[in-house]
Amino acid sequence: MKLGFNKEYWKEQLKHSNWYIILEKDLKEKIFPIVHKNPEVKTFRHKVYELVEELLEKDQIPLAKEGPNLDADRKPIDAIIIHHTEEKPEIRLSKLSAIGFIRQYGLTYLKNDVLGYKLKGQPIWSGHFRNGKIVFFAYHWLVRPNGNVERLLKDDYIGWHSGNWEINTKSIAIALSGDYEKDTPSISQIEGVAKIIKENYRRVDKNRILGHMEIKEKRTCPGAYFLKEWKKTLLDLL
């Protein structure tokens, strides 16, 4: 597939509140499929993500001003799911939110039924706010390689992170910022994850701390060395 990024084309479609319907074919071919080693696809996607980020910052993508409570299914937390972003470790939070907006929310709003609501064709709504601004993060926490942690979603919010709604309703998603497909995170980063768990989720059973790959088949997240190496390092720190 030859990918040429036509900024004007994407920009024009994204100005419509039902952009995900207008762009459905492009999204299904070029944005939604999970790819790991494909620099051409990744480069293309980053151009789309950065455009979405820019347009969201400038309020140029129509968003819903209100909407249903998409967190009504939230249940007591009984699991911690570990992810990696598979992006550059220094990624801006606004870009991470833009990725969630197009990938998670765009995909879900294409369904005829969004958690029991008929939202297809409507402007997108998450009901999730951070510093007074609507956000579309999939994860509750982001941990940088130096161990710094950033809270993205409140615990009351359901993160759309695992690909399994039942699990989403009762879990917390912690993402390591970076690409650990073929790499091991630094000890500082693993300590950052441990710190979040110790300070906030002591009641969650240790055997309910799981990698994304352990709860969703065909996923490699959070990378090849999680089960072999650093899951044990993490559990030993708790």
Binding site for Zn ion (CB under 5 A): 83, 212, 221
Which residue, 126 or 171, has its beta carbon nearer to Zn ion?
171
Question: What are the C-alpha distances in Å from 169 to residues 104, 202, 215, 230?
Answer: 15, 19, 14, 26
Q: How far is the CB of 148 from Zn ion (least distance, A)?
A: 20
Residues paired with 63 in a beta bridge: 124
201 within 8 A of 77, measured Cβ to Cβ: yes
Coil, helix or strand for 136?
A: coil
Which residue, 119 or 221, has its beta carbon nearer to Zn ion?
221
Q: How far is the CB of 235 from Zn ion (least distance, A)?
A: 19
Q: How far is the CB of 55 from Zn ion (least distance, A)?
A: 26
52 within 8 A of 14, measured Cβ to Cβ: yes
Which residue, 142 or 221, has its beta carbon nearer to Zn ion?
221
Q: How far is the CB of 151 from Zn ion (least distance, A)?
A: 18
Q: Amino acid letter at 190?
A: I
Which residue, 38 or 69, has its beta carbon nearer to Zn ion?
38
Q: What's CA 146's distance to the chain center, in Å?
A: 21
Q: How far is the CB of 212 from Zn ion (least distance, A)?
A: 3
d(CA 124, CA 105): 7
Which residue, 148 or 164, has its beta carbon nearer to Zn ion?
164
142 within 8 A of 50, measured Cβ to Cβ: no
Q: Tell me the residue length of the chain.
A: 238
Tokens of 96: 């991470």
